[in-house]
Amino acid sequence: MTPSVLRDGVLKSHVFVDAAVFFGMLKEDRYERAMQLLAHECAHVEVNAHYDRCFPDTLLRTKYMNAQQGARSEVILASWDEYAACALSAKRGENPEADYRETFLNDLADARERGNECIKAYRLHSQVGQIVREIREIYGGLMKHAAYYLGNAAGFGKSWRDDPAVAEALTEHWFLPFFERLETALAALYAELGVWPNHDGFEVIGDIGEDLMCEGGMYFYDSPDHPGEVGVQLPLTPDTVPY
Protein backbone atom coordinates (compact mmCIF):
# COMPACT_ATOMS: atom_id res chain seq x y z
CA MET A 1 0.00 0.00 0.00
CA THR A 2 1.06 3.60 -0.53
CA PRO A 3 -0.59 6.03 1.90
CA SER A 4 -0.06 9.77 1.68
CA VAL A 5 1.74 11.33 4.64
CA LEU A 6 2.60 14.88 5.71
CA ARG A 7 6.16 15.63 6.75
CA ASP A 8 6.99 19.16 7.80
CA GLY A 9 3.87 20.28 5.94
CA VAL A 10 4.95 18.58 2.70
CA LEU A 11 2.86 15.81 1.14
CA LYS A 12 4.80 12.62 0.51
CA SER A 13 3.93 9.03 -0.34
CA HIS A 14 5.12 6.15 1.82
CA VAL A 15 5.33 2.76 0.08
CA PHE A 16 4.74 -0.22 2.37
CA VAL A 17 5.62 -3.72 1.19
CA ASP A 18 4.99 -6.93 3.15
CA ALA A 19 8.48 -8.44 3.04
CA ALA A 20 7.23 -11.98 3.70
CA VAL A 21 4.83 -11.85 0.76
CA PHE A 22 7.19 -10.01 -1.55
CA PHE A 23 10.24 -12.19 -0.97
CA GLY A 24 8.03 -15.25 -0.97
CA MET A 25 7.12 -14.40 -4.55
CA LEU A 26 10.79 -14.07 -5.43
CA LYS A 27 11.57 -17.46 -3.89
CA GLU A 28 8.75 -18.99 -5.91
CA ASP A 29 10.15 -17.39 -9.07
CA ARG A 30 7.12 -15.11 -9.39
CA TYR A 31 9.31 -12.18 -10.36
CA GLU A 32 6.79 -10.79 -12.81
CA ARG A 33 4.06 -10.71 -10.18
CA ALA A 34 6.36 -9.03 -7.66
CA MET A 35 7.38 -6.48 -10.28
CA GLN A 36 3.74 -5.66 -11.02
CA LEU A 37 2.95 -5.10 -7.34
CA LEU A 38 5.92 -2.81 -6.88
CA ALA A 39 5.17 -0.93 -10.11
CA HIS A 40 1.55 -0.42 -9.02
CA GLU A 41 2.59 1.09 -5.69
CA CYS A 42 5.17 3.32 -7.37
CA ALA A 43 2.42 4.48 -9.73
CA HIS A 44 0.46 5.63 -6.68
CA VAL A 45 3.41 7.88 -5.80
CA GLU A 46 3.16 9.52 -9.21
CA VAL A 47 -0.62 9.85 -9.03
CA ASN A 48 -0.43 11.48 -5.59
CA ALA A 49 2.23 13.91 -6.80
CA HIS A 50 0.16 14.97 -9.82
CA TYR A 51 -2.89 15.59 -7.65
CA ASP A 52 -0.93 17.55 -5.06
CA ARG A 53 0.62 19.80 -7.72
CA CYS A 54 -2.76 20.61 -9.26
CA PHE A 55 -4.64 20.90 -5.98
CA PRO A 56 -2.13 21.91 -3.29
CA ASP A 57 -3.08 21.92 0.37
CA THR A 58 -5.89 19.46 -0.29
CA LEU A 59 -4.82 15.87 0.43
CA LEU A 60 -4.75 15.20 4.19
CA ARG A 61 -5.48 18.87 4.80
CA THR A 62 -9.18 19.13 3.94
CA LYS A 63 -11.77 19.16 6.71
CA TYR A 64 -15.19 18.02 5.54
CA MET A 65 -18.19 19.88 6.84
CA ASN A 66 -20.56 16.92 6.74
CA ALA A 67 -20.97 13.24 5.94
CA GLN A 68 -21.91 13.93 2.33
CA GLN A 69 -18.64 15.73 1.60
CA GLY A 70 -16.65 13.01 3.33
CA ALA A 71 -18.41 10.23 1.43
CA ARG A 72 -17.89 11.96 -1.90
CA SER A 73 -14.19 12.45 -1.23
CA GLU A 74 -13.68 8.82 -0.25
CA VAL A 75 -15.39 7.60 -3.42
CA ILE A 76 -13.60 10.07 -5.69
CA LEU A 77 -10.08 9.45 -4.48
CA ALA A 78 -10.39 5.66 -4.13
CA SER A 79 -11.79 5.22 -7.65
CA TRP A 80 -9.43 7.68 -9.32
CA ASP A 81 -6.27 6.55 -7.53
CA GLU A 82 -6.73 2.89 -8.40
CA TYR A 83 -7.73 3.55 -12.00
CA ALA A 84 -4.70 5.75 -12.61
CA ALA A 85 -2.26 3.47 -10.79
CA CYS A 86 -3.53 0.45 -12.72
CA ALA A 87 -3.33 2.26 -16.06
CA LEU A 88 0.21 3.51 -15.38
CA SER A 89 1.54 0.14 -14.23
CA ALA A 90 -0.44 -2.10 -16.57
CA LYS A 91 2.46 -3.31 -18.71
CA ARG A 92 4.95 -3.77 -15.89
CA GLY A 93 5.38 -7.41 -14.93
CA GLU A 94 2.54 -9.92 -14.79
CA ASN A 95 -0.85 -8.81 -16.08
CA PRO A 96 -3.21 -8.72 -13.05
CA GLU A 97 -6.34 -8.65 -15.22
CA ALA A 98 -7.69 -12.01 -13.97
CA ASP A 99 -7.45 -10.92 -10.33
CA TYR A 100 -9.09 -7.56 -10.99
CA ARG A 101 -11.86 -9.21 -12.99
CA GLU A 102 -12.58 -11.78 -10.29
CA THR A 103 -12.66 -9.21 -7.49
CA PHE A 104 -14.96 -6.89 -9.44
CA LEU A 105 -17.38 -9.63 -10.48
CA ASN A 106 -17.56 -11.05 -6.96
CA ASP A 107 -18.35 -7.59 -5.60
CA LEU A 108 -20.88 -6.97 -8.35
CA ALA A 109 -22.70 -10.20 -7.56
CA ASP A 110 -23.68 -9.36 -3.99
CA ALA A 111 -23.29 -5.60 -3.44
CA ARG A 112 -27.03 -4.96 -3.49
CA GLU A 113 -27.71 -7.83 -1.10
CA ARG A 114 -25.05 -6.66 1.35
CA GLY A 115 -26.37 -3.12 1.18
CA ASN A 116 -29.90 -4.27 1.88
CA GLU A 117 -28.78 -6.30 4.88
CA CYS A 118 -27.07 -3.22 6.33
CA ILE A 119 -30.25 -1.19 5.88
CA LYS A 120 -32.28 -3.89 7.66
CA ALA A 121 -29.80 -3.85 10.54
CA TYR A 122 -29.99 -0.05 10.68
CA ARG A 123 -33.70 -0.34 11.50
CA LEU A 124 -32.62 -1.94 14.77
CA HIS A 125 -29.45 -0.06 15.75
CA SER A 126 -30.40 3.42 14.35
CA GLN A 127 -26.76 4.51 14.17
CA VAL A 128 -26.63 7.01 11.30
CA GLY A 129 -22.84 7.21 11.20
CA GLN A 130 -22.59 3.44 10.94
CA ILE A 131 -25.05 3.06 8.07
CA VAL A 132 -23.46 5.93 6.12
CA ARG A 133 -20.06 4.27 6.49
CA GLU A 134 -21.40 0.84 5.53
CA ILE A 135 -23.28 1.98 2.44
CA ARG A 136 -20.35 4.13 1.33
CA GLU A 137 -17.96 1.21 1.75
CA ILE A 138 -20.20 -1.22 -0.14
CA TYR A 139 -21.04 0.95 -3.14
CA GLY A 140 -17.83 2.97 -3.07
CA GLY A 141 -15.98 -0.35 -2.92
CA LEU A 142 -17.86 -1.56 -5.98
CA MET A 143 -16.77 1.58 -7.85
CA LYS A 144 -13.18 1.13 -6.69
CA HIS A 145 -13.03 -2.48 -7.84
CA ALA A 146 -14.58 -1.48 -11.16
CA ALA A 147 -11.86 1.20 -11.41
CA TYR A 148 -9.09 -1.36 -10.86
CA TYR A 149 -10.43 -3.43 -13.74
CA LEU A 150 -11.07 -0.45 -16.02
CA GLY A 151 -7.69 1.14 -15.34
CA ASN A 152 -5.80 -2.03 -16.16
CA ALA A 153 -7.86 -2.49 -19.33
CA ALA A 154 -7.13 1.11 -20.33
CA GLY A 155 -3.42 0.55 -19.79
CA PHE A 156 -3.52 -2.33 -22.25
CA GLY A 157 -5.80 -0.49 -24.68
CA LYS A 158 -8.57 -3.05 -24.18
CA SER A 159 -12.32 -2.74 -23.74
CA TRP A 160 -14.47 -4.56 -21.21
CA ARG A 161 -16.95 -5.17 -24.00
CA ASP A 162 -14.48 -7.65 -25.48
CA ASP A 163 -14.21 -9.52 -22.17
CA PRO A 164 -16.96 -12.18 -22.28
CA ALA A 165 -17.20 -12.66 -18.50
CA VAL A 166 -17.55 -8.96 -17.72
CA ALA A 167 -19.79 -8.18 -20.68
CA GLU A 168 -22.14 -11.01 -19.74
CA ALA A 169 -22.25 -10.05 -16.06
CA LEU A 170 -23.12 -6.44 -16.90
CA THR A 171 -25.77 -7.19 -19.52
CA GLU A 172 -29.07 -5.74 -18.24
CA HIS A 173 -27.49 -5.37 -14.80
CA TRP A 174 -28.59 -2.43 -12.64
CA PHE A 175 -24.93 -1.35 -12.28
CA LEU A 176 -24.28 -1.06 -16.04
CA PRO A 177 -25.25 2.66 -16.41
CA PHE A 178 -23.03 3.56 -13.44
CA PHE A 179 -20.18 1.47 -14.81
CA GLU A 180 -20.34 3.21 -18.18
CA ARG A 181 -20.46 6.66 -16.58
CA LEU A 182 -17.52 5.74 -14.38
CA GLU A 183 -15.48 4.52 -17.34
CA THR A 184 -16.09 7.76 -19.24
CA ALA A 185 -15.29 9.99 -16.25
CA LEU A 186 -12.08 8.17 -15.32
CA ALA A 187 -10.81 8.04 -18.89
CA ALA A 188 -11.38 11.79 -19.23
CA LEU A 189 -9.38 12.48 -16.07
CA TYR A 190 -6.56 10.20 -17.18
CA ALA A 191 -6.37 11.96 -20.53
CA GLU A 192 -5.49 15.16 -18.62
CA LEU A 193 -3.20 13.50 -16.09
CA GLY A 194 -1.46 16.15 -14.03
CA VAL A 195 -2.79 19.12 -16.00
CA TRP A 196 -6.36 19.34 -14.71
CA PRO A 197 -7.60 22.95 -14.94
CA ASN A 198 -10.06 22.44 -12.08
CA HIS A 199 -11.67 19.79 -9.92
CA ASP A 200 -14.82 19.43 -12.01
CA GLY A 201 -13.88 16.09 -13.54
CA PHE A 202 -13.34 14.60 -10.10
CA GLU A 203 -16.70 15.88 -8.92
CA VAL A 204 -18.31 13.87 -11.72
CA ILE A 205 -17.08 10.74 -9.97
CA GLY A 206 -18.58 12.04 -6.73
CA ASP A 207 -21.91 12.52 -8.50
CA ILE A 208 -21.77 8.92 -9.75
CA GLY A 209 -21.03 7.74 -6.23
CA GLU A 210 -23.97 9.65 -4.77
CA ASP A 211 -26.31 8.36 -7.46
CA LEU A 212 -25.10 4.82 -6.83
CA MET A 213 -25.63 5.08 -3.07
CA CYS A 214 -29.11 6.43 -3.78
CA GLU A 215 -29.73 3.45 -6.05
CA GLY A 216 -28.73 1.33 -3.07
CA GLY A 217 -31.26 3.06 -0.83
CA MET A 218 -29.47 5.98 0.86
CA TYR A 219 -29.34 9.62 -0.11
CA PHE A 220 -28.27 12.90 1.42
CA TYR A 221 -30.48 16.00 1.59
CA ASP A 222 -29.85 19.55 2.71
CA SER A 223 -31.13 20.27 6.21
CA PRO A 224 -33.87 22.93 5.98
CA ASP A 225 -33.20 24.13 9.54
CA HIS A 226 -29.38 24.09 9.55
CA PRO A 227 -27.70 25.52 6.42
CA GLY A 228 -24.58 23.61 5.45
CA GLU A 229 -25.67 20.47 7.28
CA VAL A 230 -27.12 17.39 5.59
CA GLY A 231 -29.55 14.70 6.58
CA VAL A 232 -29.60 11.06 5.54
CA GLN A 233 -32.68 9.32 4.19
CA LEU A 234 -33.14 5.57 3.86
CA PRO A 235 -36.11 3.61 2.53
CA LEU A 236 -38.75 2.06 4.73
CA THR A 237 -37.80 -1.27 3.18
CA PRO A 238 -34.49 -2.19 1.51
CA ASP A 239 -36.04 -2.39 -1.95
CA THR A 240 -37.85 0.96 -1.84
CA VAL A 241 -35.96 4.10 -2.80
CA PRO A 242 -37.68 7.09 -1.11
CA TYR A 243 -38.41 9.36 -4.07
Query: Any idea what the Cα angle at residue 5 is, between residues 21 and 64, rounded to 5°?
Result: 120
pLDDT of 89-145, one tens digit each? 999 999 999 999 999 999 999 999 999 999 999 989 989 999 999 999 999 999 999
Nearest Cα to Cα of residue 150 among 78, 86, 208, 213:
86
SS3 143: helix
Q: φ, ψ for residue 70 (rounded to 5)?
A: -65, -40
By the 10 Å C-beta count (0-12 exposed, 13-18 middle, 19+ buried), 133 is classed as: middle
Element (H, E) at 100: helix 97-125
pTM: 0.92
Reported as a pLDDT band with limits 50, 70 and 90, residue 229 is confident
Q: Give the separation between CA 208 and CA 216, rounded to whole angstroms.
A: 12
Domain ranges of the chain: 66-233
DSSP character for 63? P
Q: List, for residues 18-36, the tens digit of each pLDDT value.
A: 888 888 888 778 889 899 9
